[in-house]
Chains A and B, each alone.
Chain A
Amino acid sequence: MIPSVAIRRTWGPTSTFLLALGLATFLALWQLDFLGGSFSAPGGLSEFRRFFAAALRPTMTSANTGTSILPDLREALGTTVFVAFAAMGLALVVGFVFGCLASESLWERDPVVMETAVGRVAQRALLPTWLVAIRAVMAFLRSIHEIFWALLFTALFGLSLVCGILALAIPYAATLGRIYAEIIDETPRDAARAIRGAGGGRAATFLVGLLPRAAGSILSYSFYRFDCALRSSSILGFVGFTTIGLNIRTAANYDHYQEVWTYLYALFALLVATEVLSGALRRRIAAWR
């Protein structure tokens, strides 16, 4: 038995959102012709069947050369992992700088600054402008997907893993910066204010009073982002970099579906294992915090 009062009280802003969402869904369906022609595989149902039948029979032998694909697989997985790590290395450093610069806490208004005229001007006029500017820069860098950065860099410099790493690092640095800034701003500022009040410098206030308490969340989010980096790194192969996506795409172009499934299963295993491992690390961070 559901108490009717409870139901009546559930209508609120949430329900309004849901209603708006229903409308948006209808408009979206209308835009896409209600998904008309939603099944148009070139080979029809037989291709569909052939592809999923191959899922049960992944192969280790290349249909082109008759040799084992294990070396290819190993190399592709290695490249995928190392590209993700290399990009994360860059993104962590740049993202951390972004995050600190974009956080309000770093620039918090306090009596020491407000005593001078320059400080007052900086606080009232420059700070809001600065925050909007750096956040806009981050939003822009983030809004271009790593695949598009990769296409752009390939066009600029030619196809090279460096371009893939850079393409991955740029939007990731911007995303990390945004989230780091949010984390730093949600950290309680009492310790920082105490240090500032006791005469600590701005750097000490930030580095000792704020950062250590934000470190757990920052670390946790960085691990999560690595999972994402690994996924993105594998996808970069689809635009020509030598990560596992390239093997998948090539095998599919040759209609070697059994090989496609071998690569897919290997990738699934890698991604799930990473997810589980980073999940364990994140849980431990939460416990340690």
Chain B
Amino acid sequence: MAMNPAERWQAVRSLRRDAPRDRFLQMGLLLFVGLCLGSWLFLDVDLRHPITGKSRFAVKPTFLDDAIPFDLRHRDEAGDWRLVWDTGLFWRWLGRTVAETGLDPFDLLPAEERPRSNALADTLALSVLAIVLAALMSLPLILPAAKNVALLEAFLPADRDVSRLERTLRRLAFAATRGLLVVMRSIPEFIWAFVFLIAFGPVALAGILALAIHNGGILGKLDSECVEDMDLRATRALSALGASKNSVALVGIGPRLMPQFLVYFFYRWETCVRETAILGVLAIRSIGFHIDHAFAQFQYDRAIVFILMNSLIVIGGDLVGTAVRRRIRGGGNLAA
């Protein structure tokens, strides 16, 4: 069925006219795109160096000097550093640098006397404890933050028939839980860690607590959305059989949504591994401490090795997480 161009245009116009429109969304989108493109105008972006006038992206020569592996660095006649390749020396240097992450970075004793403390293992351990604590924190918040459970829609009409006071209190508790989750997750773990470090000193607990609060907020949100999307027939059937609300939650909701919860759990764990590393910048024992320390001492050769070591465990965490999520559920879409 061929249309002439005029008819086709008409059809397109009418389709467009009838399409649902959302002014708020349109304006939001317009503003978002406009600011993404236009924000450069508001920033003091110096593409030239303020003193030398050279391009900002002219690599500082000192970087290249300091990025040459230390053992392969030699001065030439002109007094400049040059790379003299020697495979044996390179591997020895690499081994020594990697081994350094197995020593306690806080101790300034010579290498042989320093206590052992594996930075990679510490990073992983911190991330595991953080995500477990995050899950424990989010657990009591999931149901109060799910609208259908908090406002009793998940139960039989008889159970929903509560006094006006209780209804108001339930609404308040629901709003408060949602608000708490927003505050928990909208403050970055790094800021939480900064606050806790001032309060507790440079200890693992500060980092764990920081990661746990932020990720607890995210898990609470994702999990409660999951509960809201749940099919309510099972919970209503259970409550028709006389099950109390706690029993319904324990039997009708928990086990059924656990796979989905675990998907989110592993997704956030992957992020935790990545974020644990940067807490080292705040002097928490993780691989990030070595990275930051190397940068601070202009030892870029070592910094690069430590960054790559960190990449290894982050990618490792990614692979484990993806594999587990795929096993739990056919796919692993994180965009939900």
Contacts and interface: CB of A to CB of B under 8 A. Distances in A.
Given A10-B255, A148-B291, A156 B59 contact: yes
Interface residues of B, number: 90
B191 A234 contact: yes
Contacts of A155: 60, 63, 66, 295, 298, 300, 303
Contacts of B37: 89
B129 interface: yes
A227 interface: yes
Given A156-B60, A161-B45, A85 B307 contact: no
A165 B43 CA distance: 10
Contacts of A3: 251
A152 B307 contact: yes
Contacts of B57: 157
Interface in A185-235: 186, 217, 219-223, 226-227, 231-232, 234-235
A226 B186 CA distance: 12
A144 B334 contact: no
Contact of A39 (B46, B125, B203, B335): B203
Contacts of B59: 156-157
A183 B335 contact: yes
Contact of B335 (A51, A142, A182, A264): A182
Interface stretch (B18-26, B89-97, B141-149): B18-26
Interface in A1-51: 1-3, 6-7, 9-10, 13-14, 17, 21, 24-25, 27-29, 31-32, 35, 37-42, 47-48, 51
Contacts of A250: none
B201 A40 contact: yes
B63 A14 contact: no
Interface of chain B, main secondary structure: helix
- Nearest 3 CB-CB pairings of A with B: A89-B36, A28-B125, A85-B39
B183 A268 contact: yes
A82 B42 contact: yes
B29 A148 contact: no
Contacts of B243: 1-2
A48 B59 CA distance: 43
Given A40-B203, A257-B198, A281-B25, 16 more contacts: A7-B251, A24-B132, A28-B128, A31-B124, A41-B199, A82-B40, A89-B39, A139-B318, A142-B318, A143-B311, A148-B307, A155-B63, A235-B190, A272-B183, A277-B28, A284-B22
Contacts of A246: none
A166 B300 CA distance: 19
A148 B186 contact: no
Interface stretch (B76-84, B160-168, B270-278): B270-278
Interface string A135-148: 00001101111011
B111 interface: no
B233 interface: no
B183 A151 contact: no
Interface in A242-289: 245, 248-249, 252, 257, 264, 267-268, 271-272, 274-277, 280-281, 284-285, 287-288
**Which of A7, A223, A275 has its CB near the most chain B CB atoms (within 10 A)?**
A275
A40 B203 CA distance: 7
9 contacts: A6-B251, A14-B259, A32-B125, A142-B314, A143-B318, A155-B300, A227-B186, A267-B187, A280-B24
Contact of A268 (B46, B187, B288): B187
B174 interface: no
